[in-house]
Structure 1
Amino acid sequence: MSVLESFHANHGATFEERAGRRLPRHYGRPERTHKAVRNGVGVIETAYDVLVVTGDDRVEYVDNVLSNRVPDEDGEGCYALLCDPQGRIELDCYVYNAGERLLLFAPPGHGAGLAEEWREKVFIQDVGIEVATDDLAVLGVHGSKATEKVASVLNKIGVPEGELVFDRGTIHDVGVTVIATDDPTGEDGYEIVCGIDEAETVLDTLINYGTGAVPFGTQVWGSLTLEAGTPLFDSELEGRIPNVLGLGNAVDFEKGCFVGQEVISRVENRGEPSQRLVGLRCEALPEAGAAVRDDGDGVGEVTRAIGSPSLDEPIALAVVEFGLEHEELTVGEGIDARVAELPFVEGSGRSARVPAYGE
């Protein structure tokens, strides 16, 4: 369940189940809430599974497993992937160096299995791996006025500047860690990490003190990230090769060996993958999984679609053939669509996951 279910219920939340957790889907009028985040600021309980990795060999161990280089400096983080031997994404995660430990934020439902798998592979190295999902809360603050929001309630430090960096301070006398995100909603974003026992105090402060903020749930998260051109784990990432998604920000091609590196590097060196992720503007709302056709020929499929609150029209993400020649396509049962540049909406930030492909 959500670590703050009663708080969300008191604010009128409607819930949904995701990976065994009961999370707020929306608080009523999600389109209006979406626009409130774009034009101001919103707060969401972020559904991560959290691992804590300790021991003298913690950085080396995690660095050898993931696709990106794990920072060795306290206060820095990275976005990275865990891939199978065929180079397909098994999960995506954020890793932060917190001094004597690493914090790893993984998709919900994957933390316990990942911890068990890694423990089985530790032999002579000094590495400890624990699941801390039930001990820590992660609260996302996103929107064009997110910086002002965090600054209005944060004590003892300034708002961290940069991408995937953090600092420690207090909110309402509660010790917190404040992370500057890589802007997955296309707006300025921060994540506030605190102990589970203090989470309600921090969430109440973020919503009701200082600059005003609205609570939002998974439905608005989905619409914001789609408008921002951010591929998500469940819909776009899982089972695909990073190059298909243009996720250069998640892979360090200069680092040492990691599982799946040979396949990913081979695609990179060849110059282009077989498919790519694109945006579509549609005449009607397609379903996820709907076929994408070019002059009657199947060229891909829709991964996610919404009625965009910002654009007032249906939009979608789709994986299509890399060398697609035409921009005018059909989707599903004859829905007209055209390829659109990502992101769909330019906000106060730019998602680091917007697909980028080599020349």
Structure 2
Amino acid sequence: MTVLETFHANHGATFEERGGRRLARHYGRPERTHLAVRNGVGITEMAYGVLVITGDDRVEYVDNVVSNRVPDDDGEGAYALLCDPQGRIELDIYVYNAGERLLLFVPPGRARGLAEEWREKVFIQDVEIEVASDDLAVLGVHGPKATEKVASVLNKIGVPEGELVFDRGTINDIGVTVIASDDPTGEDGYEIVCSAAESEAVMDALINYGTGAIPFGSRTWETLTLEAGTPLFSSELEGRVPNVLGLRNAVDFEKGCFVGQEVISRVENRGQPSQRLVGLRCSELPAAGTAVLGDDETVGEITRAVQSPSLSEPIALALVEFGLESEDVTVGDESVPATVTELPFVEGSGRSARVPFY
């Protein structure tokens, strides 16, 4: 279940199951909530699985198996991928160097399996791997007023500046870690890490103290991130090669030690992948998996689509042939008109680091 299930229930949340966890879907009127976040600030419980890695060889061990460089310095983080031997994405991971430990945030329901897999591969290295998904809460603060919101409740430190950097402070005398995010909603964003036992008090402070804020759930997260052009793990990333997604912020192309690097480097050196991720403005809302057609031939498929509250029209992400030149395509068997558009759909106070770049 979610760490904050009682809080969500008391605020009238509708729930969903994801990765074996019960998460808040929405609190009613998600379209209005979406616009409130776009114009102000919203708070959400992030659905991460959490791993804690300790031991003298922790940085070397994780660095050897993920696609990006693991930071050496306390207070820094990185976005990385775990890939199979064919270069396909198995997991996306946020890795934070917290001094004597690494904190890893992974998709919901994946922490325990990853911990078991990695423990089996540790031999003479000094590495300990623990699952902390039920011990820590991660609260997302997103919106153009997110910085003002965090500053209004945070004690002892200023708001961290940069991308995936963090500092430690307090909120109402509760110890927290404040991470400057990579802006997946296309707005300024932060993540507040605290103990699960004190998470409800922190959530209450974020919503009710200082600058006003509104809670939001996974449905609003999906519409915000799609408008921002952010590919998500379950709909765009899983099982695909990162080059196809233009996911350059997650890969250090000079690394040669992690699984799948040879495939990813080969695609990079060839100059272009077989497909690319694009935005579509659609005249009707398509379903994920619907074919995209150009000149009556299939040129791709929809990965995710929503009715955009900001634009008041259906929008979608689609994987299409890399060389597709036409801006006018059709979607599905009934040839619903759609137009290829540059990402992001909505320009906010921030820019998602995952916006495709080729």
Range into which the TM-score falls when normalised by the shorter chain: over 0.9
- The one-letter amino acid of 1:303's match is T
Give how far 1:325 is off: 2.2
Q: CA-atom RMSD, angstroms?
A: 0.5
CA–CA separation in structure 2 for the residues paired with 1:304 and 1:88: 19
Tell me the distance in 2 between the aligned counterparts of 1:103 and 1:255: 21
Amino acid at match of 2:196: I
Which segments of 5 or more consecutive residues in structure 1 lack a partner in the other structure?
none
Matched residues, number: 357
Equivalent position of 1:180 in the other structure: 180
SS, match of residue 337 in structure 1: strand
Partner of 2:322: 322
1:45 Cα deviation from its structure 2 partner: 0.3
C-alpha distance in structure 2 between counterparts of 1:314 and 1:335, whole Å: 12
* 1:320 positional shift: 0.5
Using the alignment, how far apart are the partners of 1:5 and 1:353 within structure 2?
A: 29
Counterpart in the other structure of 2:235:
235
Counterpart check, 1:78 vs 2:108:
no
Q: What's 1:116 paired with?
A: 116
Q: CA deviation at 1:254?
A: 1.5
TM-score normalized by the length of structure 1: 0.99
Q: Which moved more, 1:242-251 or 1:331-340?
A: 331-340
For residues 100-144 of structure 1, what are the alpha-carbon distances to aligned partners after superposition, in whole Å with 9 as ceiling and x for unaligned?
000000000110010000000000000000000010000000001
Alignment of 1:295-306 (within 5 A): 295-306=295-306
Equivalent residue, structure 2, for 1:3: 3
Structure 1 residue 255: Cα displacement: 2.3
Offset, 1:6: 1.1
Q: CA deviation at 1:213?
A: 0.2
Asked whether 1:355 is paired with 2:356, we answer yes
The superposition leaves residues 58-86 of structure 1 with CA deviations (integer Å, 9 ceiling, x where unpaired) of 00000000000000000000000000000
Distance in 2 (CA, whole Å) between partners of 1:256 and 1:246 is 19
Counterpart CA distance in 1 for 2:178 and 2:89 is 28
In the alignment, what sits opposite 1:223?
223
CA distance in 2, matches of 1:49, 1:335: 39
Q: SS in structure 2 opposite 1:65?
A: coil
Tell me if the contact between 2:73 and 2:97 (Cα under 8 Å) persists in the aligned partners.
yes
- Separation in 2, partners of 1:27, 1:190: 21
Which sections of structure 2, spanning at least 5 residues, go unmatched? Answer: none
The offset of 1:256, in angstroms, is 3.5
- Please name the residue that 2:342 is paired with: 341
Task: State percent identity of aligned pairs.
Answer: 82
Paired residue type of 2:357: A
Structure 2 letter corresponding to 1:341: E
**Superposition pairs for residues 88-167 of structure 1, below 5 Å?**
88-167=88-167
- 2:46 is the counterpart of 1:46: yes
> How many angstroms apart in 1 are the aligned matches of 2:109 and 2:86?
23
Aligned residue for 2:250? 250
Paired residues of 2:256 and 2:262 also in contact (CA < 8 A): no
| C-alpha separation in 2, matches of 1:184 and 1:153 | 23
Secondary structure of 2:285 counterpart:
coil
1:12, distance to aligned residue in structure 2 (A): 1.1
Q: 2:165 & 2:33 partners in 1: Cα distance? A: 28
For 1:201 and 1:311, the matched residues in 2 are separated by 35
Query: What SS does the corresponding residue of 1:203 show, helix, strand or coil?
Result: helix
Question: What is the CA distance between 1:20 and its match in structure 2?
Answer: 1.1
TM-score calculated relative to the size of structure 2: 0.99
1:20 aligned partner, one-letter code: G
Provide the rounded CA distance (Å) in 1 between the counterparts of 2:231 and 2:148: 27
